Amino acid sequence: MWTVLVFVTVALFTSFAALRWSDWRRRAAERLAQQQKAREQRPVSGFLPSPSLIWHELVNRVGNLVPASPKDLPRLKRRLLRAGYRDPGVERIFNGLRVLSTVVCTAVALLYGLHGHFETTNLVLFTAFGAVLGYNLPMQILMLRIRRRQKALEKALPNALDLMVVCVESGLGLDQTTVQVAKELQFAYPEICEEFTVMNLEMRAGKRRVEALRNLAERTGVEELKKLVAVLIQTDRFGTSIAQSLRGHSDYMRIMARQKAEERAAKLAIKLVFPIFFCVLPSLFVVTVGPVLTRLIRDLLPAIQNM
């Protein structure tokens, strides 16, 4: 009886969800058409900016009011470039976000301390902790994005090198090869395609190839890309075969990736000791020893008491 009830309930819910999903596209298209029609009929004087634009303008203005340190500004720009932020004035936006984050975290910590009736010393310490947290939070998020982008570049580099070998062996030069790789891999690996596109734009602007390659290595901060840049510079300087150099470097990268995977697999047994000991073994003891202990308590204790 319960099985039939559960089956009917799941079937009805699935049918209802399918009908709602099939009607979703039509309703979305109608809603977009109505919004477009209302936008066309709305007068220009009644235009209201979106909350995102208001927030962007607020952060930008706060960043303009914050004095930037000439010593830390080049390092901040380099980190923003490595994270993929290339817009002009992005350092002002980052400084504005840092100021607003500090103010918000400080206010939240102060209100929480007042609501919790903290002592004066604890309230001051907790508020200072909120201020430090708010000041460092944007930088930590930026560093996290940098690490993710660098991992994406490292993951995409072997496949990009294989495609570069194919393009070079088919008769293309190095400049045309990077352009072709950026076109072919723009959906699979957009990060490395973006870097190759910037490098080609620099060479079109008049920079030498060696300088553009070094800028690529400095802009990304990825060790494997730095090694590739060194190989390409030496190949260009000594006139050796580009295809052979790229193929050798691609094989080297795949060997290094395989060795890293084997190293992580070898560390897996040691890392699993604590989860097994604290999570798996207690439940295993409960399942195996629990029924035996229950039977002993139920059968053996009455017999001992009757003796």
Q: What is the spatial distance between Cα 196 and Cα 141, in angstroms, rounded to a whole number?
A: 25
State the Cα torsion 89-91-95-98 to the nearest 10°: 120
pLDDT at residue 44, as a whole number: 44
pLDDT at 145: 92
Band (pLDDT 50/70/90 cuts) for residue 296 is: confident
Output the pLDDT for position 154.
Answer: 87
Q: How much is the average pLDDT of 181-204?
A: 88
What's the CA gap between 290 and 91, in Å, rounded? 62
pLDDT of residue 149: 92
Band of residue 28 on the pLDDT scale cut at 50, 70, 90? low
The CATH number assigned to the domain with range 149-265 reads: 1.20.81
290/226: higher pLDDT? 226
89: left (phi over 0), alpha (psi -120 to 50) or beta: left
pLDDT digits (tens, 9 = 90+) for 95-124: 888 888 888 899 998 888 888 888 888 888
Average pLDDT over residues 234-259: 83
Percent of the chain having pLDDT more than 90? 3
pLDDT at 91 over 80: yes
Q: Where are the domains of the chain?
A: 53-147, 149-265
pLDDT confidence of residue 144: 93
Q: What percent of the chain has pLDDT above 70?
A: 75
* Per-chain mean pLDDT for the chain: 79
For the chain, the maximum distance between any two Cα atoms, rounded to a whole number of angstroms, is: 102
The pLDDT assigned to 8 comes to 55
Which one is predicted more confidently, 243 or 304? 243
Q: How far is CA 37 from CA 44, 49, 222, in A?
A: 14, 18, 49
Find the mean pLDDT for residues 205-227.
Answer: 88
**The pLDDT value given to residue 57:** 65
pLDDT at 269: 83
In angstroms, the CA 24 to CA 30 distance is 10
Per-residue pLDDT band at 56 (split at 50, 70, 90): low
Say what the pTM is. Answer: 0.68
- The size of the chain, in residues, is 307
